[in-house]
Amino acid sequence: MSSRDDILASIRANRPQLERSLPAVPLFDDPPPPSLLAAFKENLELMGGIFLDPPESGDVLAPVRAKIADAKVVCSTVPEIAGNRDIRAIAAPRELADVDFAIARASFAVAETGSVLFDDKDLQVNAVAYLAQHLIVLLDPADIVINLHHAYRRPEFRDRHYACFHSGPSATADIEGVLIHGAQGVRSLSLLPLARTSGASTAWAPAGPEQAERSEACPRPSHRDG
């Protein structure tokens, strides 16, 4: 008998013969916060993230440009702003070790926890969000959901092989409870609210003909990894 057979047989022999039904899980979304963006911002900051206030006028990406002005290596996975390291040319993740700033767009965010969700399509090379010294996130405020119950209804968890909630930067308090940012991963996570430009939407809504058309029109960058 294989280990698999042994284990399953042992479980069947030992399983308690008790009636334990699976409960229904409510969405716990009532009452919703007055502003999803405000709630998200509050929680992002409590988790150590930095919210970049969008400028009143002029260049919407000015706060991001200011952040990366002195950086040596910037790796951008978004069409809105260019870096100087092309992620499509990466053969192995370790080639991203010298990246100062990674810029990526989150698929969606969660107001309850101040989290953003990246999947393997957003990152293209997953490791970029962990090897970079700093992470800059673009987020469309229309992509904020109320809480985790809503979050887990999103298709990313069924469609993608990798999806990760980032809730602020890498952190630890393992030594005497002293809070450290940049434990192993990024030292900072800054977020700029910026609506998706048309044609680049991955916003999820019940499928309608308009939605499908827009998705078709958007060119998907090729997904390469080493």
Partner 1 sequence: MSNGKVLHPELLAPDDRDSIYRRGRRLDHAGGASQPLRASTLEKQPRGAKVHGNRPIDQAEAAARFIAAPEHEKMHDERLWDLRQKRDRQMHGIPEWEELRALASAIKEHTLTHLDDYLEEFETNARANGTHVHWARDAADHNRIVHDILRDHGARTLIKSKSMLTEECGFRAYMAAAGIEVIETDLGERIQQLDNEDPSHVVVPAVHKLRTDVAEVFARTIGTDPDNSDVHYLAESERESNRPLILAADAGMTGANFAVAETGTFVVCTNEGNADLSANVPKLHIASIGIEKVIPHLEHLAVFVRLLSRSALGSPITQYTSHFRGPREGGEMHIVLVDNGRSERLGLEEFWTSLKCIRCGACMNTCPVYRRSGGLSYGATYSGPIGLIIDPTFNARKYSNLPFSSTLNGSCSNVCPVKINIHEQIYAWRRELVKQHETPFVKKAAMKAAGELLSHPAAYRAAIATADFALAHLPRFVIYNGLNAWGKHREVPHPPKQTFHSWHQSNRGEKT
Rule CB under 8 A: which of 50-69 touch partner 1? 50
- Residue 210 CB, nearest distance to partner 1 (Å)? 27
Instruction: Evaluate whether 169 touches 188 at the Cβ level (below 8 Å).
Output: yes
Contact region with partner 1 (CB under 8 A), list: 58-66, 73-81, 106-114, 208-216: 106-114
Count of residues of this chain found to bind partner 1 when the rule CB under 8 A is applied: 81
Binding status of residue 212 toward partner 1 by CB under 8 A:
no
Nearest-angstrom CA–CA distance, 64 and 198: 20
In terms of CB distance, is 15 or 220 closer to partner 1? 15
Site string for partner 1, 3-42 (x = CB under 8 A): xx-xxx-xxxxxxxxx-xxxx-xx-x--------------
Q: Tell whether omega for the bond before 31 is within 30 degrees of 0, i.e. cis.
A: yes
In terms of CB distance, is 84 or 172 closer to partner 1? 172
Map the footprint of partner 1 across residues 63-102, applying CB under 8 A: 93-94, 97
38, 46, 66, 217: which one contacts partner 1 (CB under 8 A)? 46
Measured CA distances, 41 to 83, 97, 193 (Å): 26, 29, 10
Categorise residue 79: left if φ over 0, alpha if ψ from -120 to 50, beta otherwise: alpha
Binding status of residue 183 toward partner 1 by CB under 8 A:
yes
Contact region with partner 1 (CB under 8 A), list: 33-41, 52-60, 61-69, 179-187: 179-187
* Tokens read off for 121: 């399509």
Torsion angle, alpha carbons of 153, 155, 159, 164, to 10: -70
In terms of CB distance, is 147 or 211 closer to partner 1? 147
Contact region with partner 1 (CB under 8 A), list: 53-61, 75-83, 172-180, 210-218: 172-180
Nearest-angstrom CA–CA distance, 180 and 95: 26
- Determine how many CB atoms are found less than 10 A away from the CB of residue 87: 20
Map the footprint of partner 1 across residues 113-152, applying CB under 8 A: 113-115, 120, 126-127, 129-131, 147-149, 151-152
Q: What residues pair up with 181 in beta bridges, in sequence order?
A: 171
In terms of CB distance, is 35 or 172 closer to partner 1? 172
Residue 198 carries which DSSP code? T
Binding status of residue 109 toward partner 1 by CB under 8 A:
no
In terms of CB distance, is 112 or 140 closer to partner 1? 112
Q: What is the DSSP string of 86-129?
A: -GGG-SSGGGGTT-SEEEEE-SEEETTTTEEEEEHHHHSSTTHH
